[in-house]
Amino acid sequence: MVLFDWQGTLFHDQRDEVLSRIRASVTSIGQAVDDDDVLRLASQLGNAAEHPRVLAARERADCSADLHQAATLLELRLAGFHDELALAIWSRHGDVGATHPYPDTPQILRALKSHGVRIGVISDIHYDLRRISSTTGWLPASTRSRCRASMLVRRADPRLFQIALQALSAGPAETLMVGDRASRDGGAVRVGITTLILPSGPNYTPRGLDIVLRLVRPHPDRPISDVDG
């Protein structure tokens, strides 16, 4: 079985594209903003993110959707965003139109599926993954997703991986965890799961997920192109 992190591993969104996200959020609430205002608001986010109250709120933000929203809105308000815009920006995280797969995500998931490799998603995001995965059709119907935010534990906590293994009736020795941050996904190692940490990469470019297929090696003599589809 292969467990994937979601954000930064299979999908990316506008979270790291600050200017685009601000503009799209303004449009979503039927308002207009000029480029100078967008740049001003974006420039104020850095200081707001380092505010002691925000840092304290972020410590627990990943434990529930309500805590995540509260921490995000606090940061945005301190940066000068009015409440309606702040809520629109928070709501855009996980919006189907703003969350995009890396180019190699469909190919690798289909290849794993074609070989009967079970797939699970274990993520540190606050929204329901099924809303997005159902629009792609890439994850098999048997795929299960477990969000840390729904269980009040952070992804670095090994208990989350134990919960996932139990839900999927899998053992650590037969599981591979694929993520992008050792500080969080590395919790899988503590329960005996072999873990692959992918280096960071830019949005809209291949993520390098082909290495997963090489590690799983369902048919090591067949190239990836033979199993795509």
How confident is the model over 4-30, as pLDDT tens digits? 998 889 988 655 578 888 888 898 899
Q: Mean pLDDT over all residues of the chain?
A: 80
Q: What is the pLDDT of residue 154?
A: 55
| 199 class by beta-carbon count within 10 Å (0-12 exposed, 13-18 middle, 19+ buried) | exposed
Instruction: Assess whether 112 and 131 both reside in one domain.
Output: yes
Instruction: Give the range of the structural domain holding residue 18, as residue numbers without chain letter.
Output: 13-97
Amino acid letter at 46? G
Long-range contacts of 132-141 (CB under 8 A, 24+ apart): 132/11, 132/94, 132/96, 132/99, 135/96, 136/101, 136/106, 138/101, 138/105, 138/106, 138/109, 138/110, 138/113, 139/109, 140/113
Backbone dihedral region for residue 3 (phi beyond 0: left; psi -120 to 50: alpha; all else: beta) = beta
Closest CA to 49 of 39, 37, 61, 66: 61
Q: What is the pTM of this model?
A: 0.70
Instruction: Assess whether 205 and 93 both reside in one domain.
Output: no
Q: What is the pLDDT of residue 147?
A: 44
Residue 54 has pLDDT above 90, yes or no: yes
Q: Which residues pair with 195 in a beta bridge?
A: 177
Q: Model confidence over 92-106: pLDDT tens digits?
A: 776 766 678 899 998
- What is the domain count for the chain? 2
Instruction: Assess whether 129 and 200 both reside in one domain.
Output: yes
Instruction: Assess whether 104 and 205 both reside in one domain.
Output: yes
Q: What is the pLDDT of residue 157?
A: 76
Closest CA to 48 of 82, 75, 21: 75
- Lowest-confidence segment of 34-43, 104-113, 217-226 by average pLDDT: 217-226
Report, as an integer, the average pLDDT of 158-176: 88
Instruction: Assess whether 81 and 110 both reside in one domain.
Output: no
Query: Per residue in 84-98, is it b (16+ CB within 10 Å) or e — as a string?
Result: ebbbbbbbbbbbeeb
Diameter of the chain measured on Cα atoms? 57
Main-chain phi, psi angles of 10, to 5 degrees: -100, -40
Q: CA 66 to CA 96: how far, in whole Å?
A: 20
Instruction: Assess whether 113 and 160 both reside in one domain.
Output: yes
Residue 56 has pLDDT above 70, yes or no: yes
Share of the chain above pLDDT 70, in %: 76
Instruction: Assess whether 7 and 70 both reside in one domain.
Output: no
Residue with more model confidence, 130 or 139: 130
Residue 140 has pLDDT above 50, yes or no: no
Closest CA to 191 of 61, 8, 6, 3: 3
Main-chain phi, psi angles of 144, to 5 degrees: -115, 145
Instruction: Assess whether 179 and 196 both reside in one domain.
Output: yes
Q: What is the pLDDT of residue 62?
A: 72
User: Domain with 159 in it: what CATH number?
Assistant: 3.40.50.1000
Return the top range by mean pLDDT from 18-22, 65-69, 170-174, 201-205: 170-174
Instruction: Assess whether 70 and 156 both reside in one domain.
Output: no
Instruction: Assess whether 43 and 118 both reside in one domain.
Output: no
Q: What is the pLDDT of residue 128?
A: 66
Instruction: Assess whether 107 and 38 both reside in one domain.
Output: no
Report, as an integer, the average pLDDT of 153-173: 81
Residue with more model confidence, 176 or 151: 176
